[in-house]
Amino acid sequence: MAIYLERPHLNEHFPFRTLLNDGDILTTPHWHKEQEIIYVKKGTIQMGIGEESFEVKEGEFLLVAGGRVHYVLASPGSVRCVYQFSDRFFHEMIKDEQELQTLKNLWRDYPAYSGKWREDTAASTRALLDAIYEEDQNRAQAYTFAVKGYLCLMVLGLYRNREGAGNERGYEYRVESSRMLEKLDQIFQYVEQHYTRPVTLEEVAGHIGFSIFYFTKFFKKNVGKTFVQFLNEYRIDKAKWILLNEDVGAAELIERIGIGSTKTYYRLFKEIVGMSPGEYKGMNVLKQSPTSGA
């Protein structure tokens, strides 16, 4: 089964979200930079992180460190809450790069499965997860402060109750994972900075110090699609945002997203989105709601 990169759409100023999935939803092997917690609210789920498999029961949860491949098998009758957040969430509290790396290592070193934790640590984390979900669902005034405060308390608890230091294999994983994420970060930043003009495999490969051959294999293995597919989808995502938020003509839009011709733009949009730009805008314009406080 292919492994793919997921890019959660998190608010730039409040990089956090919760999702509630029922057991019929199968999640294929994927990874993302963001940290994730999967909390079973009902029933039992079967899932894997890397080469490890877990049976997670009601009231238990798993920590999934950013960069780790994971999946969830179909688990009928179960309900799971998914919490996703970026390390950027804590940046104003981190004084230097070393402290940021310590935080990342905390997610990677801590035992993933709460069933292996001390009961008091698991219980206090469970209570915080319940409180976070309730705040995120109700979104009362200043709920973002509550969510951030509870997450900070959770991190503090993990720091002060560390259990099971990583072994040598874990260290090797951290090094390889960190290098992979660093290279992908460079690629994504390059695309963000240059997508409005033609971008070639040669220049991106050269930018990160890879040969074209190695870059092609590296990108497909870690992102789950070719670089050209990724670039096209990235540009169409930008087009979708412009369509729903600005009133511009097709010629200006195409120029802003770096696609060479109107014909190519309409063909890619239909292939990727499943409908024409006009149909997409017409279908979504009535669904837009006022922006929330997050």
Mean pLDDT for back-to-back runs of 10 residues, the chain (294 residues): 67 90 80 92 90 91 90 88 90 76 81 92 96 96 95 90 50 53 80 92 94 91 84 89 87 93 94 91 61 37
Sign of CA dihedral 285, 8, 87, 209: negative
Domains of the chain, residue spans: 4-166, 183-284
**Is 47 strand, coil or helix?**
strand
Contact 294, 139 (CB under 8 A): yes
User: Alpha-carbon distance 119 to 59, whole Å?
Assistant: 12
At residue 163, the pLDDT reads: 53
Contact 67, 31 (CB under 8 A): yes
Q: Does domain 183-284 have CATH number 1.10.10.60?
A: yes
- Region 4-166: CATH code: 2.60.120.280
User: Alpha-carbon distance 142 to 63, whole Å?
Assistant: 27
At residue 181, the pLDDT reads: 67
Instruction: Give the Cβ contact number of residue 158 at 10 Å.
Output: 19
What the block records as the tokens of 239 is 């087009």
Whether 4-166 and 183-284 share one fold: the answer is no
Contact 41, 58 (CB under 8 A): yes
At residue 223, the pLDDT reads: 75
At residue 234, the pLDDT reads: 87
User: Alpha-carbon distance 116 to 139, whole Å?
Assistant: 33
User: Alpha-carbon distance 285 to 113, whole Å?
Assistant: 43
Which helix (H) or strand (E) segment holds residue 149: the answer is: helix 143-160
